[in-house]
Structures are given as structure tokens and as C-alpha cells.
A and B are shown apart, each in its own frame.
Chain A
Amino acid sequence: MDWQALWLSLSLAAWTVALLLPVSVFVGRALATRSFRGKGLVEGLVMLPLVLPPTVFGFYLLVALGRNSPVGAFWQDLFGHQLVFTFEGLVVASVIFNLPFAIQPAQRAFEAIPNSLREAAASSGLSPLRALWKVELPLAWPGVVTAMVLTFAHTLGEFGIVLMVGGSIPGETRTIAIAIYDRVQAFDMEAAGTMSAVLVAISLFTIATTFALSARVGRRLGQ
């Protein structure tokens, strides 16, 4: 059992969730309530990580974040080391490939709020931010929580992109999914089995908890 890899995966997932939470709320809400030119394109781009093979996506990320790219060069200037093959690089890649999981469920949840409720909030004198806090988030939070749980679980399990962008550096980029692969390559089926079981247990626990929570909220609102 590679505890370091598990810890790395959990902290990668936590960072991804923390960074994507505001994105989930504000982008999800904007896509749900606004119409603008090129909205279809934006929605398509958000969904792209879902349909591309992880190796293809990882390849482009490697190129886009690498030492010769503007982003990579900027990072190198700023911190004195490259972005790819580091934990920070993994976080950036993770945030990007989790966009569909973070935005979609939140967007659906905001779409389910009748527009008249937003108008009622405004005509009750609530500013847009207060309306978001007092009316929309209390109604949409099961969707936002689902988004965060999916993001968390998906980050724990992601393999192809992590391998492409991060490689397998112990303590830096070797996540639990990579560690399992390494163990299998080394014919250490027992360790691979233990780690897989732990991953299954964590994923199952998070998803079951979310469903139970949403069901409780649904009952409270009489839906």
C-alpha cells in the first residue's frame, strides 16, 4: 500500500475541488441563465474533456504547459522550475479536465430554478449577489455538491492525463491510480488489489453520501 500516493491523490482532488467550486457556481449559473453569442461553442468546449481520449487531452496539455509554451515559460520565469512533471502542473491539468464534471451538474441545477424565483428575489429587493446566496444557492446546492463529488472522485481515478502531464515521480506526481499501474507492472498484484479496493471504497462512500444528502434536501423542499 503506497500511502504517499493515496495522500497525493487526495490532496490533488482537494485542490481541484477548491479551485473549481467558484467556477462551478459562477460559470454554471451564467450558462444556465444567460444567452449570448457563442454560448453553444462555450458549452461544447466545456464538454470536450469528456469525449477526448485522456492521452490525446494529456498530450495537448503537455504541449500547452511545457517549457516551450508561453504558459510554461511564464511559470519557469516566476518559480524557477517547470510546470509539467510537478504537483502544480497536475493541479492545472486536473482543473481543466474536470471542467465538465464541475460545471454541468451545477448548470442543470441552476436551470431547474424557475426564472420567476429570480425575479421574485429581485422584486423583494435582493441584490444579484444576495439573491444568489439566499435563494439560488440554497436551491441549487445539491447540484453543486454533486459537481464537486464527481470532480473529487474523477480526480482520484484519472490516469491517462496524469501520466502524460506528470509522469510518475514519487511524492510529486505519482497518484494512487499510477501507483496501481506500477504495482501491476511489477507483478505485485496484492498491493495493486489493496489500493484498488481502497479507491473503490472512497469513491463509493463519497457518492453514496451525496445521494443521501440530496434525497434529504428534496424531501425538505417537498419536491
Chain B
Amino acid sequence: MTLKVTLKAVAPIPLDLSFEVGKAELIALVGPSGSGKTTTLRTIAGFWQPDTARVEIAGSAWLDTARNISVPPHRRRAGLVFQDFALFPHMTAAGNVIAAMGDLPARERAAEAERLLQLVHLGDLGHRRPAELSGGQKQRVALARALARRPEVLLLDEPFSAVDRATRERLHEELIGLRAQLSMPVVLVTHDIGEAQVLADRMVVIERGKIVAAGCTAAVMSDPVALRQLGLREIAAMLSARVTAQEADGTTRLETAGGPIWLPRLDAAAGQRHRVRILAHEVILSRAQPEGLSAQNILTGRVVTVTPGEGPGVLVRVAVGEDEIMARITRRACEMLALKPGEPVHAILKTMSVARGHVAQETDTGIASP
């Protein structure tokens, strides 16, 4: 069940891109507004048709301008979560979910709606109308409705942008948890790099309708070309860590390949594996084993590359066991420390620099593979 997309268009925005999404894979289309990512999603769903395009799912064409094939949107099994959720306001939450179950026998629908609402943690709110639901609850109903279609592909159009930050972080975790049960390709459109990095297996960075970088999330996040597009302050690495203890002082201790780190309290049991997003500009490097610092998180590793930027900064990739973290430091500091590939180095990270939304539980499918 692979989704293959190729599209070319001149207007309303120039587009020229092509990508594939595999079974159970989550790909993030990232880029500034107006770059064409939502248009790409709408092409897959069938709400827009570029001059030249081909959309293929599991070998059958939904759209092929060369062969004059265009399956109408309601016959494409694409579950779509809209940015504004677009729930039917005159139906209850359960009614919204049931409305998308056209091909299920009528007597099975109520039970299936119940199951889907449970899946998105809304089991007891099925009787409410959208006007009586919070933003986060509406988003969950929209997701349940998209899944009710038994879609061959799941499309998420900025699905977290209309909710507050705390809700967004909870929804991220829920989506990560849900993915173990999803077997279809998932396409997420977002302008939030952090969101893409936490959620996606692979990233496609789009700029003015063209792909400027694509690949597994970790690779894109350390690709200098992609980084220029994404914004330097978004550069970050994902570090794998295992919860070892809940400390009495309100922090959680995790074990990484480069040593223990302490993060603001995570609601997690010991032994759980997490991925932690570490922003490159929050990392300090030191040649000597640091002492007498307030920062508690000191990871030991080796320099992999030193990439000078256009300004006064350089980006240093540091291997920590199997993982890599990145540090953005000044060229001056880099010269003073004489950092070169292969040199040992200590990376220092403030506990408080890791936001709650930058930690996500690891799932089997959640680990990027190149």
C-alpha cells in the first residue's frame, strides 16, 4: 500500500515535485505558507487538479492526467483531517464518524463509531455536537471520522494548528500512540518543524513548489540546504533515551548512549523509550569534563562534522553512541576548542531547554530508518 505522487503545475502556484510514502509510514510535508504543501495534499484528496499529475495508491491510479483518469474525491479512500476540522455541525460526534461509514452495514456502524471514538480517547462524548466540544476534542472527532472511512491513505492538513500548545503536545503523543494501529501511508502537512521532527519518519521540505530536501527525518534535520529553508533556530536532533527514574525534585532521569540526562517531569513509566528533540542552539560544547556547572546534562561523544554557516556560526554534529546531536556554536568558539572530526567532546544541555512537546514516546514505527 504505497502512495506515489507526482505533480507539475504553473498556476495558481508553481509546483514540480514527486514523492512516495510507504505502508504505515508517516511523511511530513514541511515548508513556509504558499510553498504548495496544502495544494499537494488537496491534489491527493481530489479537490484540486494540476496540469500534469499522477497520484497512485497501491498500484491503482486516483489521478493520471496523461491517461485522463481522475477518480472523484468521494470515491478516493482518503481520510482527511482539515485544519479547521470541518465537522458537520448538525451531527453529534458519533454522527460525524458514522457519516463516513457509507460502505459498512448499518447495524455495525454504531459499534464501530464507539470503537473509533475510544481509539481517540473520546469514548464518552459521542453524543455531543461540535459546538459543545473543545478544540482538541474536535480534532479527535475529525481524526476518528477520517479513520471511519477505512482510508487507504490518511491526510493531515495542519491538524494541530488550531489548538493551544498544551493540547497540541497531548495530541502529538496520542497520534504517536495511535500509529501502531495504522497500516496506511500518512501524509502530514505542517509548517512546524518541531512537530514534523517529533512525528514523521521522513520529511519532504518544499520551497516554492519544489522539493529542496527529502529523506529520513534525522538526515533532513542535519542537511545544511534543508536547514537554511527551515530556519536556523529550528535545527535540532532527536536523541533516544530510556526512562530510568522519577526523581523527588520533579525531574525525570533518562539514560542515553552518552550518559544520564534529567528532563522536566515526564508522565512515563521506568523503562519506556522516548525520543527527545534537542535544539542545536541550546547545546554548549566543552573539550574538558565540565565541573561546577548548573547544567546537569552532560553527554560524552565525538565530533562527526563541523559545517560553517554563512554567518558567524558553525554547526557541529556530535555522535553519541548510535545517535547524533547537533550544536550551533560560534566560529570563534569552534576555533578556540580546535574542534575537528573524531575529537572527543562533551555536550552540555540545560534541563529547562527541553520543552514538554519535544519529548515523544518511541513506537516501533516511530523510529526513522534511512
Binding site for B on A (CB under 8 A): 114, 116-117, 119-128, 130-131, 134-135, 138-139, 220-223
Contacts and interface: CB of A to CB of B under 8 A. Distances in A.
Interface in B62-117: 72-80, 82, 84, 86-90, 99-100, 102-103
A219 to B, nearest CB: 10
Most buried by A among B74, B87, B145, B149: B74
Nearest to A222: B131
B185 to A, nearest CB: 16
5 contacts: A117-B88, A120-B80, A121-B88, A122-B74, A135-B99
A125 B71 CA distance: 12
A123 to B, nearest CB: 4
Contacts of A120: 80, 82, 86-88, 145
B102 A138 contact: no
A117 B130 CA distance: 13
A125 B84 contact: no
A139 B100 contact: no
Contacts of A223: 89, 131
Given A122-B72, A124-B74, 19 more contacts: A114-B86, A117-B88, A119-B86, A120-B87, A122-B47, A122-B74, A123-B74, A123-B76, A124-B100, A124-B102, A124-B148, A124-B149, A125-B103, A130-B102, A134-B99, A135-B99, A222-B89, A222-B130, A223-B89
A211 to B, nearest CB: 19
A127 B74 contact: yes
A220 B149 contact: no
Contacts, number: 77
Given A114-B84, A134-B99, A119 B73 contact: yes
B149 A119 contact: no
Nearest to A122: B73
A116 B79 CA distance: 14
B131 A119 contact: no
B46 A122 contact: yes
Instruction: List the 4 closest pairs (A to B, CB-CB), nearest first.
Output: A222-B131, A124-B100, A120-B86, A116-B86
B45 interface: yes
Contact of B132 (A119, A122, A131, A222): A222
Categorize the interface residue count of chain B: 20 to 34
B149 A125 contact: yes
B84 A116 contact: yes
Contact of B82 (A116, A125, A127, A134): A116
Nearest to A125: B102
B101 to A, nearest CB: 8
A117 B86 contact: yes
B129 A222 contact: yes
Contacts of B88: 117, 120-121, 134-135
Contacts of A124: 74, 99-100, 102, 145, 148-149
A120 B47 CA distance: 10
Nearest to B145: A124
B90 A125 contact: no
Nearest to B129: A222
A220 B92 CA distance: 11
Contact of A123 (B78, B103, B132): B78
Contacts of B89: 139, 221-223
Interface in B196-224: none
Nearest to B83: A116
Given A116-B82, A128-B74, A135-B88, A123 B149 contact: yes
B79 to A, nearest CB: 7
Given A120-B80, A123-B80, A125-B74, A220 B100 contact: no
B80 A119 contact: yes
Nearest to B78: A123
Nearest to B150: A125
Contacts of A116: 82, 84, 86
Nearest to B75: A125
A126 B90 contact: no
Contacts of A135: 88, 90, 99
Contacts of B78: 123
Nearest to B72: A122
A130 to B, nearest CB: 8
Nearest to B157: A116
B189 to A, nearest CB: 14
Interface in B144-187: 145-146, 148-149
A180 to B, nearest CB: 42
Contacts of A134: 88, 99
Nearest to A128: B74
A68 B77 CA distance: 57
B59 to A, nearest CB: 21
Contacts of B90: 135, 138-139, 220-221
Contacts of A121: 74, 88, 99
A221 to B, nearest CB: 5
B282 to A, nearest CB: 38
Nearest to A130: B102
Contacts of A130: 102
A131 to B, nearest CB: 8
Given A119-B47, A139-B90, A221-B89, A126 B74 contact: yes
Nearest to B87: A120
